[in-house]
Amino acid sequence: MKIRSLSWLAALLGALPLWAERPAINDQKAPAGRKDLEQIQSLLHAALPKARAATVCIELDQGSGSGVVVSEDGLILTAAHVTGGVGREFTVRFEDGRKVKAESLGLNSETDAAIAKIVDEGSYPFVPIDRDDSTRLGDWVFSLGHSGGFDKRRGSVVRLGRLVRMADSTYQSDCNLIGGDSGGPLFDLGGRLIGIHSRVGQRLPENMHVPMSEYLANWDELTGGEFMGEGPFAKKPEKGKGFLGLLAEAHDGEGRKAQRVRPEPPAEAAGIKPGDLLLKMDGHELSEFDDLKDLLKEKAPEDEVTFEMLRDGEPETLTLRLGDRDS
């Protein structure tokens, strides 16, 4: 008898942390008065410092969005329409102004989920992910984001609301979003990450988030750099759309001579100069006039290519990432 009651107690104790993690206020249809409001407020106050420290601004050429760090070595969850592709490099800024380099890993163009990774080695502030899918309709939640871009004086911006709709691949909250918030985190009152900001409706209260389950279900693909799906949130790079940014002319003997470098990236940015003699691309000899063109036909924007070349008679090797012919 005694043993039995003890094991019952142990089971109860084991279950306690779970209870403690789900605030009582979430099981009420509405706060009844001041006490309940104070419960929400004090939970929010307690969760905010860690959540803010891990929320980042993502700065890309095409615009700025938000993201959130979920591991000490700098794994970032964000939205597919923010990173826009796989293997893209960008700058990440923490609220305290710290600036680091990051690279996009995989994305799902159908759900808008994307993962990136800070490239600079270091130890970063991060938040826990809600792995138990413990969120329920009506739960109190808060959003963070670098609305309208990074602003050191202002910092990241918090909004409080409730989960008002839940579907398989989308949550809707009444935390209002605006440009720049995309990719930013949605938290429960315990400070666990439950969603990533994705999009808004034309009507004010329609704010959509990608639930954590969409990340967790495809974790290996997303961290492994896979471009998933053919949805509206990102466009797969097309072969033949790779853009080098230089005009070349035939040269006596072997190789192509970079005749005139266009004043635009990526060739110019990578440091190819007029007069450089291109010998090989990715190990393939450039002996015929059309070799370079043919090789580039197989390349898509964001692909990396390596040139071996001669500059003033000296051999040089240069690696660059192709641009988009259409942009």
Q: Which residues sit at the interface with another protein, rule CB under 8 A?
A: 29-34, 36-38, 40-41, 44-45, 48, 52, 59, 62-65, 79, 81-82, 112, 137-138, 142, 147-149, 153-170, 174-183, 197-202, 204-206, 208, 232-233
Rounded-to-integer distance, Cα 291 and Cα 284, Å:
9
- Side-chain-facing half-sphere of 260: CA atoms under 13 Å: 3
Structural contact between residues 166 and 138, judged by C-beta atoms closer than 8 angstroms: no
Distances (CA, A) of 145 to 54, 98, 192: 11, 16, 15
Which residue, 176 or 223, is less far from another protein as judged by CB?
A: 176
Distances (CA, A) of 192 to 70, 160, 195, 253, 264: 10, 14, 9, 64, 44
Which residue, 1 or 167, is less far from another protein as judged by CB?
A: 167
Which residue, 47 or 70, is less far from another protein as judged by CB?
A: 47
Please state the closest distance from residue 137 (CB atom) to another protein, in A: 6
Which residue, 101 or 136, is less far from another protein as judged by CB?
A: 136
Which residue, 77 or 200, is less far from another protein as judged by CB?
A: 200
For residue 32 the two structure tokens come to 């009844």
Please state the closest distance from residue 308 (CB atom) to another protein, in A: 36
Count Cβ atoms within 10 A of the Cβ of residue 236 and give its class: 0-12 exposed, 13-18 middle, 19 or more buried: middle
Q: Which residues are within 8 A (CB) of 6 and not within 5 positions of it... i.e. 6 or more apart?
A: none
Which residue, 17 or 97, is less far from another protein as judged by CB?
A: 97
Rounded-to-integer distance, Cα 197 and Cα 183, Å:
5
Please state the closest distance from residue 27 (CB atom) to another protein, in A: 13
Please state the closest distance from residue 64 (CB atom) to another protein, in A: 5
Which residue, 119 or 158, is less far from another protein as judged by CB?
A: 158
For residue 260 the two structure tokens come to 């005139």
- Side-chain-facing half-sphere of 298: CA atoms under 13 Å: 8
Strands 55-60 and 63-69, sheet pairing: antiparallel
Rounded-to-integer distance, Cα 171 and Cα 186, Å:
10
Please state the closest distance from residue 269 (CB atom) to another protein, in A: 18
Please state the closest distance from residue 120 (CB atom) to another protein, in A: 21
Please state the closest distance from residue 322 (CB atom) to another protein, in A: 22
